[in-house]
Amino acid sequence: MIKVVIFDLDDTLISEKSFALSAFGEISIELSKVIKKPISVIYEELVSLYNESPNYIFNRILEKNNIHLNKNFIDDLIYIYRNHKPNIKLSDEVIELLLHLKKSEFHLGLITDGFKSTQINKVISLELDKYIEKIVITDELGDNREFWKPSEKPYTIIKDYFNVEYNEMIYIGDNINKDFIAPIKLGMQYALYINENSHYQKTEIKENLGQSISHLNDVLKLIR
């Protein structure tokens, strides 16, 4: 019997792209100091490049505009990206789901990788503590990504917090590379959220990961 529902954050509860778009507002202002174009044009270039690939986006926009790649400047842009206060929110559908689960007396947890300051800012902006009882930001657990997924530690922390068995927890995530390794080892239930916007689902899913859902609300069918 499922007692605890644990969610991933990026590209599960929220779109990672929404965070990027929020950051691009501030970053466009900085880039306008070296790229002699209107801020709005730079913003649209960032969005276009992100849609192609989110990797090395600041290098690519400088190269696109024939600007010398200055490592310190790029580091400054990355710092802004990671530490800006994001203008993001949960969708109405996600809020409705979380409230329904709480009303149905399921415990809610969150496990999220990512740089500590970045994920803390997301959690604060989204007001996740209003809905989720135990939030584990893996970067807060140790240095050098030691306890990022697929580490078992964040799942164990949630198990101990709620005093349940592993098979009484289910994990919902989108990352086919790491989200389900620990749950499988620990005997948890799990479900892949099929999200066409996920950066980690751009390639064909070759592994049989068991249960999958196409909409977050489908989690309700899994836990009944």
Average pLDDT value for residue range 141-167: 97
Mean pLDDT across 70-85 = 96
Q: What is the pLDDT of residue 206?
A: 46
Distance CA 77, CA 89 (A): 23
110 CB-near residues (< 8 Å, 6+ apart): 6, 7, 8, 9, 13, 123, 128, 132, 134, 135, 136
Please state, in angstroms and rounded to a whole number, the distance separating the CA atoms of residues 147 and 140.
9
DSSP result, 11-48: TTTB-HHHHHHHHHHHHHHHHTTTS-S-HHHHHHHHHH
Of 9-18, 75-84, 173-182, the one with minimum mean pLDDT is 173-182
pLDDT in tens, 95-140: 999 999 999 999 999 999 999 999 999 999 999 999 999 999 999 9
Question: For residues 97 and 217, is the Cβ–Cβ distance under 8 A?
Answer: yes
pLDDT of residue 207: 53
Q: How confident is the model at residue 170 (pLDDT cuts 50, 70, 90)?
A: very high
pLDDT in tens, 181-211: 999 999 999 999 988 776 665 544 545 566 8
Edge-to-edge strand ranges of the sheet holding 4-7: 134-137, 107-112, 4-7, 169-173, 189-193, 212-213
Question: 151: closest CA among 179, 115, 190?
Answer: 179
Query: Which of 73-82, 107-116, 150-159, 175-184 is the least confident region?
Result: 175-184
Indicate if the pLDDT at residue 16 is higher than 60: yes
Residues 6+ apart with CB under 8 A from 10: 16, 19, 112, 114, 174
Report yes or no: 196 and 217 within 8 Å, Cβ to Cβ.
no
**Cβ distance 106 to 4 under 8 Å?**
yes
Task: Please check the confidence at residue 32 and state whether its pLDDT lies above 50.
Answer: yes
What is the rounded average pLDDT for all residues in the chain? 93
DSSP 54: S
> What's the distance, CA 96 to chain centroid?
19
What's the confidence (pLDDT) of residue 120?
98
- Bond prior to 150 in cis (omega within 30° of 0): yes
